[in-house]
Structure 1
Amino acid sequence: MVVTGGSSGVGLAAAKQFAARGDEVVLVGRDPGRLAAAVEQVRAAGGSDPAHFRADFENLEEVRSLAGHLLDGYPRIDVLANNAGGMVGEFRRTPDGFEATVQGNHLAPFLLTSLLRDRLRGARVVNTASRAHQQGSPDPAALAGDPAAYSSWRAYGAGKAANILFTAEAARRWPDVFSVSFHPGVVRTNFGAGAVTRFFYKYAPFLVTPEKAGELLVWLATAPEAELVNGGYYVGHKVTAPAPHARDADLAARLWDASAAAVGR
């Protein structure tokens, strides 16, 4: 079970639950300190050291290096949980030339999944999306972004819509890889950009715990395929129609082709 964004929040909660089931867990995180702490927690949950790799998804060369380590170390990957991602407060272009939100939330996991594609035959990919996809739509022709028109919430929404579109298109192009995306709920984490947003995601009374969201990720990763829909977007345990732009097959195909060209696949 490879879990990106596995050093905190939903990813860490799911990794601990995988470990408690006896699954072999591979953690991927960006911050070395948080990653080391996560390793200790997963060890406590499962009784053995999880493999772990550091990678910053705002650097595609680090994503390629991560894929190389996974290809070298694992002849088969049963589950790839593309959970890494987040919101960027101010416009930032990565060293690879793309707007940071679309790269971190979409292009990097797209690249990682593509590089691991042969190891994922007969396996499962679970992409963490969000209901925030309703707030933005990705533009396949403008992955570099426009600083003059930047909105952190719109960019985040576009990134999450890209997760849903990627999932559906993967189901069409890679029928031997079972792909699903999901909304984890509004989760109590250190999420967001800016003090007000971070305060909300820590203290609002109706928030979902990371453990509850992790349970949903684990269910999507382990439930029999007959109980799920390949390419489906889940809210809770129900496959759900996303916003119209996030179920546009033409947009999904154009985004796939633009993403492949952008990352050299």
Structure 2
Amino acid sequence: MNANWTARHVPDQSGRVAVVTGANTGLGLETARTLAERGATVVLAVRDVDKGARAAAGLTGNAPGNVVVQRLDLSSLESIRAAASALRDAHPRIDLLVNNAGVMYTPRQTTRDGFERQFGTNHLGHFALTGLLLERMLPVPGSRVVTVSSTGHRIRAAIRFDDLQGERSYSRAAAYGQSKLANLMFTYELQRRLAAHGTTTVAVAAHPGVANTELVRNSPAAVRAAVDRLAPLLTQPAAMGALPTLRAATDPSVLGGQYYGPGGRGEVRGYPRLVTSSPQSYDLADQRRLWAVSQELTGVEFPL
């Protein structure tokens, strides 16, 4: 595998349809940019369609592929169902779903459906969207579901089945870690189910290391100030942070169930390579339990 894999290694994407959540800024925008430049039809699935339209306008100048915008609020199951219906109607085939959007370190808030915001948006929202779009992916040879996790899945992280919504005890960092751990468990369980189904569709995970994006905008002021001060030393540009996602999405050598992140020390920065996640992320019983709970909470059944 190429040690210094960059966007230049992304193969031709002509004829492919890619849906990227949270694609109007940061990692999602850089992911969408490269996919469009390589010829894919890219759907920017975003909460703010005006920002999405501005992002799309900025992409189309240098991109041979089509760039369109789809409203999607991952904190609302109603919005997710509406977006999935519109996407199914517009695209008979979907080659790539990039579950990129997320929130980080928010104070305790709930989604429109009563879920803790970080768990509800980062995990349950993408779980539901994937399940509702999968029928358009299963017949497509080599289609991929790429879910973006974080090194934060190791920090104070556990799936708190007795308090998933943080009603009894809430920590911003622990809730974020739980949501990112859930992203990985979802990927691994989805891959097992896809393999058993006999499809060539695969599920892969990625993380950006520490990328300079707007994700910390919900953090306490002291955290934001520290990030701003240390960003030049400890972070990498969003374009570099997007490389693990792009590799997971397009590298022909990628296998289902793999996890990609920066190859530098501590997986903070660097070119993307195959990495491993925390031991608890591989717990089969917890993966299956999380899947069952996610289906119950969202009401979404996967066509597997």
> What is the TM-score when the length of structure 1 is the normalising length?
0.93
Q: In the alignment, is residue 211 of structure 1 matched against residue 235 of structure 2?
A: no
Q: In the alignment, is residue 42 of structure 1 matched against residue 98 of structure 2?
A: no
Structure 1 alignment gaps of length 5 or more: none
**1:79 & 1:7 partners in 2: Cα distance?**
17
Residue identity matched to 2:288: A
Q: In the alignment, is residue 145 of structure 1 matched against residue 166 of structure 2?
A: yes
**1:210 & 1:178 partners in 2: Cα distance?**
25
Confirm or deny: 8 A CA contact 1:18 1:25 kept in the other structure: yes
Percentage of pairs with the same residue: 35
Instruction: Write the mapping of 1:1-265 to structure 2, written as runs, cut at 5 A.
Output: 1-47=18-64, 49-121=66-138, 122=141, 123-135=143-155, 136-146=157-167, 148-175=168-195, 176=199, 177-192=201-216, 193-203=219-229, 204-205=231-232, 206-224=234-252, 227-236=253-262, 237-265=272-300
**2:59 & 2:228 partners in 1: Cα distance?**
23
Post-superposition CA distance 1:122-157 (Å, at most 9, x none): 4101111011000212234533322x4111111111
Confirm or deny: 8 A CA contact 1:13 1:210 kept in the other structure: yes
2:214 match: secondary structure: coil
Confirm or deny: 8 A CA contact 2:208 2:243 kept in the other structure: no
Deviation, 1:174, is 1.4
Q: Which has the larger radius of gyration?
A: 2
Q: 1:198 to 1:30 in 2, by over 3 A?
A: farther
Confirm or deny: 8 A CA contact 1:166 1:256 kept in the other structure: yes
Segment drifting more, 106-115 vs 30-39: 30-39
Deviation, 1:115, is 0.6
* Number of residue equivalences: 262
Post-superposition CA distance 1:76-131 (Å, at most 9, x none): 10000000111142111222121111010000000000011111114101111011
Deviation, 1:194, is 2.1
Segment drifting more, 192-201 vs 247-256: 192-201
Post-superposition CA distance 1:149-205 (Å, at most 9, x none): 111111111100001000000010112221111111101011222223333444522
Confirm or deny: 8 A CA contact 1:20 1:46 kept in the other structure: yes
**2:63 & 2:223 partners in 1: Cα distance?**
34
1:142 match: secondary structure: coil
1:132 match: secondary structure: helix
2:61 match: secondary structure: helix
Segment drifting more, 8-17 vs 47-56: 47-56
Post-superposition CA distance 1:60-84 (Å, at most 9, x none): 1101111001100111100000001
Confirm or deny: 8 A CA contact 1:17 1:215 kept in the other structure: no
**1:51 & 1:112 partners in 2: Cα distance?**
18
1:188 match: secondary structure: coil
Confirm or deny: 8 A CA contact 2:38 2:64 kept in the other structure: no
Segment drifting more, 62-71 vs 176-185: 176-185
1:250 match: secondary structure: helix
Segment drifting more, 133-142 vs 35-44: 133-142
**1:235 & 1:197 partners in 2: Cα distance?**
23
Confirm or deny: 8 A CA contact 1:190 1:202 kept in the other structure: no
Confirm or deny: 8 A CA contact 1:241 1:247 kept in the other structure: no
Confirm or deny: 8 A CA contact 1:127 1:181 kept in the other structure: yes
> What is the TM-score when the length of structure 2 is the normalising length?
0.82
